[in-house]
Structure 1
Amino acid sequence: MSGAAPATQARRETWSSSTGFILAAVGSAVGLGNIWRFPGVAYESGGGAFLVPYLVALLTAGIPILFLDYAIGHRYRGAAPLAYRRMARPAEALGWFQIVLSFVIAVYYAAVIAWSLSYFVFAFDLRWGDDPAGFFTGEYLRVGAPEVSTTIVPAVAIPLVLVWVVVMAIIALGVTRGVQRVNVLFIPLLVLAFVALVARAVTLPGAADGLNALFTPDWGALADPAVWIAAYSQIFFSLSIAFGIMVTYASYQRRKANMTSAGLVVAFANSSFEILAGIGVFATLGFLAHQQATGIDQLEGLSGPILSFVTFPAVISEMPGGALFGAVFFGALVLAGFTSIISILLGVAASVQEKFGLAQRTSAIVVGLVCAVISLALFSTTSGLIALDTVDQWANNVGIVVSAIVMTVLVVWVFRTAPVLRAHLNRVSTFQVGRYWYALIGVLAPVLLGYMLYERVRTLLTEGYEGYPGWYLTVFGWGAIALVVGGALVLTLLPWRRGEDEDFRPWPELEEERR
Structure 2
Amino acid sequence: MKKRESFNNKWGFVLACIGSAVGMGNIWMFPTRVSLYGGGSYLIPYFIFVILIGFTGVIGEMSFGRATKSGPVDAFGYACGTKGKRKLGEILGFIPVLGALAMAIGYTVVMGWILKYMIGAFTGSTLAPENVESFGAAFGSTASAFGNNLWQIIALAVGIIILMFGIGNGIEKANKILMPLFFILFIILAIYTACQPGAAEGYKYIFRIEPKVLADPKTWIYALGQAFFSLSVAGNGTLIYGSYLPDEENIPEAAGQVALFDTIAALLAALVIIPVMATTGAQLDQGGPGLMFIYLPALFKSMPGGHIIAMIFFVAVFFAGLSSLINLYEAPIATIQEKLGLNRKLSCGVIAGIGVIVSICIQGIVSGWMDVLSIYICPLGAGLAGIMFFWVCGKKYVEEQVNLGREKKFTDKFLPICKYVYCPICILVLILGIALGGIG
Same-fold call, TM cutoff 0.5? yes
Structure 1: distance between partners of 2:194 and 2:177: 26
Match of 1:342? 326
- Per-residue deviation, 1:304: 1.1
The alignment partner of 2:274 has SS state of: helix
Say whether 1:175 aligns with 2:152: no
Match of 1:51? 43
Match of 1:426? 403
Which residue type is aligned with residue 75 of structure 1? Answer: A
Which deviations, in whole Å up to 9, do the C-alpha atoms of 1:15-40 show, x marking residues without a partner? 11111111111111111111111111
Structure 2: distance between partners of 1:277 and 1:322: 17
Q: Does structure 1 retain, via aligned residues, the 8 Å contact 2:127–2:297?
A: no
Which residue type is aligned with residue 361 of structure 1? Answer: K
- Per-residue deviation, 1:446: 3.2
Match of 2:198? 206
- The structure-2 alpha-carbon separation of the partners of 1:79 and 1:307, relative to structure 1 and needing over 3 Å to count, comes to same
**Unmatched 5+ stretches in structure 2:** 81-85
Which deviations, in whole Å up to 9, do the C-alpha atoms of 1:142-188 show, x marking residues without a partner? 666xxxx5xx22xx111111112111211111111111111111111
Say whether 1:367 aligns with 2:351: yes
Say whether 1:417 aligns with 2:401: no
Say whether 1:305 aligns with 2:286: no
Structure 2: distance between partners of 1:316 and 1:406: 43
| Aligned residue runs from structure 1 range 20-31, under 5 A | 20-31=12-23
Structure 1: distance between partners of 2:133 and 2:339: 45
- Per-residue deviation, 1:44: 2.0
- The structure-2 alpha-carbon separation of the partners of 1:120 and 1:138, relative to structure 1 and needing over 3 Å to count, comes to closer
Match of 2:314? 330
Which residue type is aligned with residue 115 of structure 1? Answer: W
- Per-residue deviation, 1:196: 0.6
Structure 1: distance between partners of 2:181 and 2:324: 15
- The structure-2 alpha-carbon separation of the partners of 1:127 and 1:223, relative to structure 1 and needing over 3 Å to count, comes to closer
- Per-residue deviation, 1:252: 0.7
Say whether 1:221 aligns with 2:213: yes
Match of 1:131? 131
Instruction: Give the one of 236, 242, 246 matched to 1:250.
Output: 242
TM-score, normalised by the number of residues in structure 1: 0.79
Structure 2: distance between partners of 1:133 and 1:85: 52
Say whether 1:443 aligns with 2:427: no
Structure 1: distance between partners of 2:370 and 2:395: 31
| Aligned residue runs from structure 1 range 124-203, under 5 A | 124=122, 125=124, 126-138=126-138, 141=141, 152-153=146-147, 156-203=148-195
- Per-residue deviation, 1:227: 1.6
- Per-residue deviation, 1:130: 1.8
Instruction: Give the one of 78, 98, 106 matched to 2:96.
Output: 98
Which deviations, in whole Å up to 9, do the C-alpha atoms of 1:262-305 show, x marking residues without a partner? 1111111111111111111111111121xxxxxx5x4552x211
Match of 2:230? 238
The alignment partner of 2:73 has SS state of: helix
- Per-residue deviation, 1:133: 4.2
Which residue type is aligned with residue 76 of structure 1? Answer: T
- Per-residue deviation, 1:93: 2.5
| Aligned residue runs from structure 1 range 440-479, under 5 A | 440-460=417-437
Structure 1: distance between partners of 2:404 and 2:235: 25
- The structure-2 alpha-carbon separation of the partners of 1:100 and 1:139, relative to structure 1 and needing over 3 Å to count, comes to closer
Structure 2: distance between partners of 1:366 and 1:253: 25
Q: Does structure 1 retain, via aligned residues, the 8 Å contact 2:127–2:307?
A: no
- Root-mean-square deviation (CA, aligned residues, Å) is 1.9
**Unmatched 5+ stretches in structure 1:** 1-7, 290-295, 466-515
Q: Does structure 2 retain, via aligned residues, the 8 Å contact 1:94–1:407?
A: no
Match of 2:366? 388
Q: Does structure 1 retain, via aligned residues, the 8 Å contact 2:236–2:381?
A: no
- Per-residue deviation, 1:123: 2.2
| Aligned residue runs from structure 1 range 9-28, under 5 A | 11-28=3-20
Q: Does structure 2 retain, via aligned residues, the 8 Å contact 1:260–1:430?
A: no
- The structure-2 alpha-carbon separation of the partners of 1:362 and 1:137, relative to structure 1 and needing over 3 Å to count, comes to same
Instruction: Give the one of 267, 284, 296 matched to 1:275.
Output: 267
- The structure-2 alpha-carbon separation of the partners of 1:423 and 1:325, relative to structure 1 and needing over 3 Å to count, comes to same
Q: What is the number of residues matched between the two proteins?
A: 430
- Per-residue deviation, 1:239: 1.0
- Per-residue deviation, 1:431: 5.9
The alignment partner of 1:16 has SS state of: coil
Instruction: Give the one of 118, 121, 124 matched to 2:119.
Output: 121
The alignment partner of 1:435 has SS state of: coil
Structure 1: distance between partners of 2:423 and 2:13: 28
- Per-residue deviation, 1:416: 4.3
Match of 1:475? none
Structure 2: distance between partners of 1:257 and 1:210: 41
Match of 2:30? 38
- The structure-2 alpha-carbon separation of the partners of 1:140 and 1:49, relative to structure 1 and needing over 3 Å to count, comes to closer
- The structure-2 alpha-carbon separation of the partners of 1:431 and 1:228, relative to structure 1 and needing over 3 Å to count, comes to farther
Q: Does structure 2 retain, via aligned residues, the 8 Å contact 1:129–1:317?
A: no
Which residue type is aligned with residue 183 of structure 1? Answer: N
Structure 2: distance between partners of 1:58 and 1:359: 37
- The structure-2 alpha-carbon separation of the partners of 1:372 and 1:233, relative to structure 1 and needing over 3 Å to count, comes to same
TM-score, normalised by the number of residues in structure 2: 0.92
Which residue type is aligned with residue 168 of structure 2? Answer: T
Structure 1: distance between partners of 2:169 and 2:399: 31
The alignment partner of 2:404 has SS state of: helix
- Per-residue deviation, 1:421: 1.8
- Per-residue deviation, 1:109: 0.4
Which deviations, in whole Å up to 9, do the C-alpha atoms of 1:56-106 show, x marking residues without a partner? 112222321001001100111011112222232232233210010011111
- Per-residue deviation, 1:139: 6.5
The alignment partner of 1:428 has SS state of: coil
- The structure-2 alpha-carbon separation of the partners of 1:128 and 1:91, relative to structure 1 and needing over 3 Å to count, comes to farther
Q: Does structure 2 retain, via aligned residues, the 8 Å contact 1:300–1:311?
A: no
Match of 1:476? none
Which residue type is aligned with residue 129 of structure 2? Answer: G
